[in-house]
């Protein structure tokens, strides 16, 4: 009976146990991973620390290093934030304090292996560590001879410590403050910066001394005070200052240099690194002379025989007393002859100089004169008269070079010498093109614009009729010798005769420094086809006429111009590019008029004026439009210094308190967001237009014409009169000049140099006293001060 009962229970229990066992699963052990890539360099005497991240596995793994250097140890770290293996050590100190013996030798590349196992899984990581020296580096500094150098700061803005010490490493100032006193009447304080590659664990004491000679140009005892001593880096420091004393003088000198040499490592683990010519690490101190230096404003100028050239010069700082800057004539490099080809006014010779300013002994060759600056003055000018002696050479214009006295020897500071790395010489080209060059065209050619560059080349933009009746444009470039054949012809819009293209304006810009000048030519106009990627046999268009801009570059002053880029912008209506200018960064501003929506700017009605802002590479930046419900036009634009664009033109609607009558003159400025900064509308009861604009250092000058009276009490001379206006801002003019003849007269162009405006145009009468009209229209040109 009992056996039967047991068998029954076993039959019930055994399947149940078996079923329970089938539902139990062990959790798999995650993969053991060791993550990281340790630094391959350790610095002698500085702590090396790296933490490998360990992930997965079971429990705390076992780990070992094979081929590890004696200074390197490993340990396990685990808390709620991290879990891993830390490698640390201090080469040269831990593992037996063997010093420089821990440095890695040349071609020594020992592979270190980290092995990590949890009993079932094994992960290895192979790497190498090179031990390098804690290099001493010197950081150069510049100090003005007359002004104490500001104490250098650490990255956190706190002053760096002066670490000068005694031989045992005790700082001369516990707080790391300056330890040298100077006579401020005779001396200037400077700081040299010494750095260690890595923060040392123990103090590093270095010996230093001042040095001159070899590559150094300053003289000990004359230009600087000789010093020697010790410099101590406390544990954890990588930057220390050493102090230098510079001697003031009244000599005009080039930049002079002396050095602090690190002569020896007295204590600690440091290595000499960046060395001077003596083979020692050094901190170079450059002494910048505090005497005024003289420069020419331009490196190259040109003029025609019979002209006067104004030569501007400036000092880089105001003199404390009267000084003289001497000008020399370079006979060897000149083909023009003084007295015969030119004379100079505005320079003073020895007879007009105070005795203390006369050069003694007199140099050979002698200077041709001097500019005298009073205390506080920084700008002076003199005049060169180019003689009309009719000695033209058809092959080569004459040239001569002027230069300032170089800084050499012990030159008294009252005699100013040439600035370093600046415009220290001026080359003058005398253009002997005295006869008129008449260009005869049978294709109905009309001049659209002209320009002259700094090398006397003349640029003539013209539009003409092609044989198939299409309009074309081109730029003719003539050299200074006056030959009737252009040296280069640039066809506008590629010269394609399948569509019409006409030039509106030219703009020249000189680029590069005085020693390697380059040039860019911008050509702006219009075309009635989308030609920038014109398929063969087709004439697509953005709609009517489109604005076109081209840039040509001249790599040197003698190489031909080559196309850099060509772009085309427009709407579904007519768009005309009629003017151009650039800013200091060579961004291009194209102006004109449009009857459509130009680059996203909704047309305001009739014809709107527009400004396109293009980058130096021709990429579109933004567009502005100016308009009313009637016709408006922008003829000229100038960028200003406040991120705005000034413009001038005309409006027939109510742009700002108008219309007054017919076409009204307008000026204004927009910012880059397209918001009006200033705007003004003015004129007479008939037509008035502004056609040109230039920017001065104290405002703007605009030029155009009027058919009426631009201000009360003025009576028109007849027909159209020239209008010149001076604006302190781009609002209503502060002064207006109206002049003319009984014929039609216009102001068409404007340019500027500093505070002087150069304007020109056409006249239908005898505009200049003592002259007579040569033909239907004559050209005129005038120079005005900033307030005409």
CB atoms within 10 A of CB 784: 18
Report, as an integer, the average pLDDT of 432-442: 69
Of 533 and 186, which is predicted with more confidence? 186
pLDDT digits (tens, 9 = 90+) for 466-494: 999 999 999 999 886 667 789 999 999 99
pLDDT, residue 5, reads 44
Q: Is residue 9 part of a domain?
A: no
pLDDT tops 60 at residue 638: yes
pLDDT reported for residue 560: 94
Residue 352 or 203, more confident = 203
Give the pLDDT mean for 705-710: 90
Q: What average pLDDT does range 247-255 have in this prediction?
A: 77
Inform me whether the pLDDT recorded for 713 exceeds 70.
Answer: no
Q: Give CA torsion, residues 167, 173, 176, 178, to 10 deg.
A: -110
Same domain, 232 and 321: no
- Verify that 273 and 318 share a domain, yes or no: no
pLDDT for 545 equals 92
Question: In this model, does residue 539 exceed pLDDT 60?
Answer: no
Task: Tell me whether the omega of the peptide bond preceding residue 365 falls within 30 degrees of 0, making it cis.
Answer: yes
Q: Which DSSP state fits 496? A: -
Specify whether the CB–CB gap between 283 and 272 falls below 8 A. Answer: no
Considering the domain architecture, whether residues 299 and 187 belong to the same structural domain is answered as: no
More confident residue, 22 or 301: 301
Please state the rounded mean pLDDT for residues 689-695.
92
Instruction: Tell me whether residue 788 is in a domain.
Output: no
Same domain, 228 and 363: no
* The 3-state secondary structure of 3-42, one letter per residue: HHHHHHHHHHHHHHHHHHHHCCCCCCCCCCEEECCCCCEE
How far apart CA 739 and CA 643 sit, in angstroms, is: 34
Alpha carbons 424 and 157: distance in angstroms, whole number = 39
Q: What is the CATH number of the domain that holds 111?
A: 2.60.40.10
Of 17-26, 258-267, 754-763, the poorest mean pLDDT is in: 17-26
Q: Can you give the pLDDT at residue 782?
A: 84
Domain limit, last residue, from 132, 160, 184: 132
Which range marks the domain in which residue 108 is found?
33-132
Query: What is the SS3 assignment for 93?
Result: coil
Which pLDDT value is given to residue 431?
67
Residue ending a domain, among 288, 307, 336, is: 288
| CA–CA separation, 578 and 502 (whole Å) | 10
Which region among 270-279, 284-293, 525-534 has the lowest average model confidence (pLDDT)? Answer: 270-279
Among candidate residues 132, 161, 177, the one where a domain is terminated: 132
The predicted-structure confidence for 150-179, as pLDDT tens digits, reads as follows: 999 999 999 999 999 999 999 999 888 989
DSSP state of 145: T
How confident is the model at residue 332, as a pLDDT?
A: 85
- The predicted pLDDT at position 534 comes to 53
Mean pLDDT across the chain, nearest whole number? 85
Asked whether residue 393 is assigned to any structural domain, the reply reads: yes
Residues 158 and 71 in one domain: no
Q: Which residue has the higher pLDDT, 740 or 672?
A: 740
Query: Looking at the domain assignment, is residue 625 inside a domain?
Result: no
Q: Do 280 and 383 belong together in one domain? A: no
Same domain, 330 and 408: yes
pLDDT at 631 > cutoff 70: yes
Please check whether residues 125 and 162 belong to one and the same domain: no
**pLDDT-wise least confident of 114-128, 394-408, 609-623, 725-739:** 394-408
The pLDDT value recorded for residue 24 is 53
Tell me whether residue 373 is in a domain: yes
Residue with the larger pLDDT of the pair 466 and 423 = 466
Contact 257, 218 (CB under 8 A): yes
What total of structural domains would you count in the chain? Answer: 3
Residues 271 and 315 in one domain: no
- Is pLDDT of 738 > 80? yes
Residue that is written with structure tokens 């237009």 in the block: 689
Mean of the pLDDT values across residues 23-32? 76
Residues 240 and 215 in one domain: yes
Asked if residue 368 is part of any domain, the answer here is yes
φ, ψ for residue 517, nearest 5 deg: -70, 145
Interval 231-248 mean pLDDT: 94
Within-domain flag for 8:
no
Going by pLDDT thresholds of 50, 70 and 90, the confidence category of residue 419 is low
Q: Is residue 267 part of a domain?
A: yes
* pLDDT confidence bin for 550, thresholds 50/70/90: very high
Whether pLDDT at 298 is above 80 = yes
Q: Are residues 195 and 87 in the same domain?
A: no
351 and 402 fall within a common domain: yes
Cis amide bond preceding 361, omega within 30: yes
CATH number at residue 381: 2.60.40.2030
């Amino acid at each position: 009976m009992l056996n039967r009962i047991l068998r029954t229970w076993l039959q019930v229990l055994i399947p149940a146990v078996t079923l329970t066992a089938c539902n139990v699963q062990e959790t798999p052990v995650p993969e053991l991973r060791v993550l990281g890539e340790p630094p391959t360099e350790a610095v002698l005497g500085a702590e090396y620390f790296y933490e490998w991240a360990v992930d997965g596995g079971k429990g705390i793994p076992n780990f070992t290093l094979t081929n590890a250097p004696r200074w390197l140890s490993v340990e396990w770290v685990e808390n709620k934030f991290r879990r891993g293996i830390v490698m640390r050590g201090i080469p040269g100190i831990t593992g037996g304090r063997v010093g420089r013996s821990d440095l890695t030798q040349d071609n020594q590349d020992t592979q270190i292996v980290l092995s990590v196992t949890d009993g079932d899984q094994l992960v290895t990581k192979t790497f190498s560590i090179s031990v390098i020296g804690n290099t001493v580096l010197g950081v150069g500094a510049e100090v003005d001879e007359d002004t104490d150098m500001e104490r250098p700061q650490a990255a956190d803005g706190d002053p760096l410590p002066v670490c000068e010490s005694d031989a045992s490493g005790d700082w001369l100032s516990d707080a790391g403050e300056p330890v040298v006193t100077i006579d401020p009447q005779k001396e200037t304080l400077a700081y040299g910066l010494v750095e260690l590659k890595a923060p040392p664990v123990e103090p590093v004491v270095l010996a230093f001394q001042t040095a001159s000679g070899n590559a150094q140009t300053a003289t000990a005892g004359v230009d600087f005070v000789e010093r020697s001593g010790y410099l101590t880096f406390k544990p954890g420091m990588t930057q220390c200052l050493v102090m230098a004393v510079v001697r003031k003088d009244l000599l005009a000198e080039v930049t002079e240099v002396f050095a602090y040499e690190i002569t020896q490592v007295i204590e600690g683990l440091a290595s000499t690194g960046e060395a001077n010519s003596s083979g020692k690490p050094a901190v170079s101190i450059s002494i910048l002379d505090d005497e005024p230096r003289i420069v020419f404003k331009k490196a190259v100028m040109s003029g025609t025989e019979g002209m006067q050239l104004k030569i501007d010069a400036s000092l880089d700082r105001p003199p404390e007393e009267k000084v003289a800057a001497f000008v020399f004539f370079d006979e060897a490099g000149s083909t023009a002859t003084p007295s015969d080809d030119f004379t100079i006014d505005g320079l003073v010779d020895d007879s007009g100089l105070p005795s203390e300013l006369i050069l003694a002994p007199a140099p050979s060759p002698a200077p041709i004169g001097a500019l005298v600056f009073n205390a506080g003055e920084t700008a002076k000018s003199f005049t060169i008269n180019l003689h009309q002696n009719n000695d033209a050479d058809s092959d080569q214009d004459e040239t001569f070079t002027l230069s300032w006295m170089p800084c050499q020897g012990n030159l008294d500071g009252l005699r100013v010498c040439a600035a370093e790395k600046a415009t220290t010489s001026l080359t003058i080209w005398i253009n002997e093109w005295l006869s008129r060059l008449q260009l005869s065209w049978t294709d109905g050619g009309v001049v659209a614009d002209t320009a002259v560059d700094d090398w006397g080349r003349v640029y003539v933009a013209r539009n003409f009729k092609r044989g198939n009746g299409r309009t074309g444009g081109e730029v003719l470039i003539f050299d200074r010798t006056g030959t009737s054949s252009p040296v280069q012809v640039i066809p506008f819009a590629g010269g394609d005769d399948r569509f019409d293209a006409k030039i509106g304006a030219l703009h020249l810009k000189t680029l590069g420094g005085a020693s390697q000048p380059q040039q860019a030519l911008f050509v702006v106009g219009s075309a009635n086809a989308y030609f920038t990627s014109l398929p063969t046999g087709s004439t697509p268009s953005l709609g009517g006429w489109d604005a076109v801009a081209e840039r040509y570059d001249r790599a040197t002053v003698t190489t031909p111009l080559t196309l850099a880029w060509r772009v085309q912008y427009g709407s579904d209506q007519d768009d005309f590019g009629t003017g151009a200018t650039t800013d200091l960064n060579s961004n291009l501003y194209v102006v004109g008029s449009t009857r459509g929506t130009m680059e996203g700017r909704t047309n305001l009605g009739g014809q709107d004026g527009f400004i396109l802002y293009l980058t130096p590479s021709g990429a579109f930046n933004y567009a502005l439009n100016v308009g009313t419900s009637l016709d408006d036009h922008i003829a000229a634009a100038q960028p200003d210094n406040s991120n705005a664009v000034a413009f001038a033109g005309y409006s027939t609607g109510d742009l700002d308190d108008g219309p007054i009558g017919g076409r009204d003159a307008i000026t204004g400025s927009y910012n880059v967001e397209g918001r009006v900064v200033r705007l003004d509308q003015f004129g007479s009861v008939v037509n008035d237009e502004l056609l040109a604009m230039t920017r001065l250092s104290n405002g703007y000058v605009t030029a155009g014409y009027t058919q009426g009276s631009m201000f009360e009490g003025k009576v028109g001379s007849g027909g159209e009169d020239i209008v010149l206006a001076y604006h302190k801002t781009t609002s209503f003019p502060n002064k207006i000049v109206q002049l003319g003849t009984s014929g039609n007269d216009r102001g068409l162009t404007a340019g500027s140099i500093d505070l002087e405006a150069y304007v020109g145009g056409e006249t239908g009468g005898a505009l200049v006293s003592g002259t007579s009209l040569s033909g239907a229209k004559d050209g005129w040109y005038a120079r005005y001060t900033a307030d005409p």
